[in-house]
Structure formats: C-alpha cells, structure tokens
Amino acid sequence: MSSNNSALLVFAIVVLVLALGNLVVTIDKVGTLTGRASDTATAALELAPAAQIDFIVDSINWGSGAVDEAPTKANINSEGAVIGGNWTAVSQGLTLQNNGNVDVTLSLTTSNVASAFIGGSAGGGPKYELKVSNSEASSCEVPLNSTNLGTYTEATGTAQATCKKFDKTDASDLLRIDVNLTIPEDADPGAKSSTITATAIVFTP
Amino acid sequence: MDNEKVIVALLIVVVLLSVATVGITLGLDLDKVFSKQQAGNPADYVDVNHANVALVIAKTPQNGGST
C-alpha cells in the first residue's frame, strides 16, 4: 500500500467518524425540534427567583398629642400603649408580607434616628425602637439569634439585619413590625415622621 | 496520482464542512447553557418597600410652646 493510499484511508476513517457524530447530534436535535407524534409529552419551564415584599399595613400614625405635665417623658407604641401623654392609641403594627417565590433575608433601615426623628433630651432622651415578630407562625424561619424576634431594638438609621430567612409559604409569610417611641417633654413641637425601608434579598443557605 | 490528490482535497473539504456543521449544531446547546446562566434578572434578587411612622407633638410649656 502506497503512502497516498494510507493517507486516504486515515482521512476516510476521520470523515466517517465525523459524519456519524454529526448524524447522531443532528438526529437528536431534530427529534426535539419537530412535532414528532408520541403518546407522551413533556412541558417544561424555568421559574426565575423573584424577591418581592409588600407592606400590607404601611403606616402608623399616633396623631397629635403632648407629654403630660407631671412626667418628663411619654412612651407610645403600636401595641396600644400611650403612657404619660395623650396621643391616640395605635394597636396595629406594620405588616410585611413575602409575596415572592423565594425565601428572603430581611433588613430594615429607618430614615432617621431618635434624636432627629423626635428630639429633646429630658427623661433620658428620645428612643425610636423597632420590634419584629411573627404575624403568622414561623414566618421568620431563621431569626438572627434566639432573642432577635420579639425584642425592641433601637433604630440606627442604617440597614439592620432582621430575619435571616423570611418564608415565602403562603400560610407563614407575614411579619409584624412594631414601633416604640419615647418622647421627652422638651422635644420640639411639630409634625414628626420617619420612613422605614424593608429590603429583601434572595436567601442563600 | 492526480485522482488521488483530488480525492484528498475533496476529503479535506468534507472534513471541514463536517466540523463546521457539528460546531453549529452544538452551538445550539451553548445557547441553552448561556440562557440558563442568564435566567432570572439580577434585579429580581432584591426588593425594597417602604412604610411610614408619624405623630405630631403639640406645643406645651415644657417644649417651648404655650398651654
């Protein structure tokens, strides 16, 4: 056998292998792309993760009031307490729902801190505290620690981690956020407001 | 001898065509892989919502106002 014939044989084999590979791949693709008749079928889709949280109750307003004459401060919260003042009692905390299709990690950020929100210094100064608790059982599947849920924490004006894993399940996707304020008697009069921003990021174990 | 050269040339063309065809066909899979990597807008991984807390502090002698 001449050297040219040997080269032909090698090329022929290579071409045969490539042609067979091409045939297999092409048949596989055509098989998935055509409407080939079959007694079984598969429908497939991919659900992209989407974090979505909504405040079902997005406002707390105690109206107008003042610190009583005798104490040096008043305490009000969204659990119905009005102590040492005459503001309108509020018994409804903010309610946050996980409406997405994924569990999320939640943090809260207030637009200001107690001194800027309320002001004054009498009676130990102002306080602006938030408390997160389950409105539906186990909504916060993984809290930050053992005391994180159900405990008032001073607002710092920066992002404060609140719940490591906020459940997406419909029966357990509600968190309640209560607000507790201490108002010194010498706090400047006027309208006071603060915005609470909830940030949800897709939970990663 | 000349015929053999022609055949070799033709085989080379066939090889190149086959390689190109396989590459294009497999390219469909690469598209699928790429589209999977892109599934889900990164913006959907974060959501933000707002609530408001408000009160009015009335004027009193203690805070500089009048009764």
What is the tens place of the pLDDT at every residue in A78-87? Answer: 999 999 999 9
Q: What pLDDT, on the 0 to 100 scale, is given for residue A205?
A: 84
pLDDT of residue A74: 96
Measured between alpha carbons, how far is A133 from A140 in angstroms, rounded to an integer? 8
Residues A73 and A148 in one domain: yes
Residue A11 counted as domain residue? yes
Residue A166 and residue A65 in one domain: yes
pLDDT of residue A27: 66
Mean pLDDT of the residues in chain A? 89
Inspect the interface and report whether the beta carbons of A199 and B64 lie closer than 8 Å. Answer: no
pLDDT of residue A132: 96
Torsion angle defined by CA atoms of residues A71, A73, A79 and A81, in that order, rounded to the nearest 10 degrees? 10
Domain range holding A116? 53-202
Q: Is there a single domain that holds both residue A100 and residue A185?
A: yes
Helix (H/G/I), strand (E/B), else coil: A181? strand
Q: Is residue A130 part of a domain?
A: yes
Amino acid at A106: L
Tokens for A73? Answer: 């401060």
Task: Evaluate if residue A188 carries a pLDDT over 80.
Answer: yes
Specify whether A14 is located in the same domain as A76: no
Q: Which of B40, B51, B57 sits opposite A196 (nearest CB)?
A: B51
Domain shared by A72 and A143, yes or no: yes
Quick one: pLDDT at residue A158?
95
Instruction: Please determine, for residue B54, whether its predicted confidence score (pLDDT) is greater than 80.
Output: yes
Q: Which two tokens stand for residue A82?
A: 């009005």
- pLDDT at B28 (0 to 100): 58
Q: Is residue A20 part of a domain?
A: yes
Per-residue pLDDT, B40: 58
CA distance A93 to chain B (A): 10
pLDDT at B29: 57
- Which residues, in sequence order, are CB contacts of A82 under 8 Å at separation 6+? A62, A65, A74, A75, A76, A88, A89
| Residue that wins the pLDDT comparison between B31 and A155 | A155
Which residues of chain A does B24 touch, with a Cβ-Cβ cutoff of 8 Å? none
Spatial CB neighbours of A99, under 8 Å, sequence gap ≥ 6: A52, A53, A54, A173
> Long-range contacts of range B1-5, CB-CB < 8 Å, 24 or more positions apart?
B1/A4, B4/A4, B4/A5, B4/A8
Lowest mean pLDDT among A23-32, A39-48, A127-136, B16-25: A23-32
pLDDT above 90 for A24: no
Segment B26-38 shows an average pLDDT of 55
Do A27 and A103 fall within a single domain?
no
Q: Is residue A79 domain-shared with residue A174, that is, in the same domain? A: yes
Residue A160 and residue A129 in contact, taking contact as beta carbons nearer than 8 Å: no
Q: Binning pLDDT at 50, 70 and 90, where does residue B62 land?
A: confident
A66 within a domain of the structure (yes/no): yes
Q: Does residue A185 register a pLDDT over 90?
A: yes
Give the residue, A30 or A100, on which the prediction is more confident: A100
Choose from A60, A78, A115 for mutation: most chain B CBs within 10 A.
A60
Q: What is the mean pLDDT of residues A59-85?
A: 95
Q: For residue A22, is it within any domain?
A: yes
Mean pLDDT value across chain B: 73
Q: State the number of CA atoms in the 13 A half-sphere of A167 facing the CB.
A: 17
Same domain, A5 and A59: no
Strand order in the sheet with A59-65: A59-65, B46-57, A190-202, A104-110, A160-166, A140-143
> Which of B7, B22, B58 minimises the CB distance to A189?
B58
Instruction: Say what the pLDDT of residue A6 is.
Output: 72
**What domain count does chain A have?**
2
Q: Indicate the pLDDT class of residue A29, thresholds 50, 70 and 90.
A: low
Q: Can you give A53-101 as a three-state secondary structure string?
A: EEEEECEEEEEEECECCCCCEEEEECCCCEECECCCCCCCCEEEEECCC
Q: Evaluate whether residue A74 is within a structural domain.
A: yes
Alpha helices in chain B (DSSP H): 2-38
Within a domain: residue A48? no
Residue A28: in which H helix or E strand, if any?
helix A3-33
Cβ atoms < 10 Å from Cβ of A51: 26
Q: Are strands A140-143 and A82-83 parallel, antiparallel or unpaired?
A: unpaired
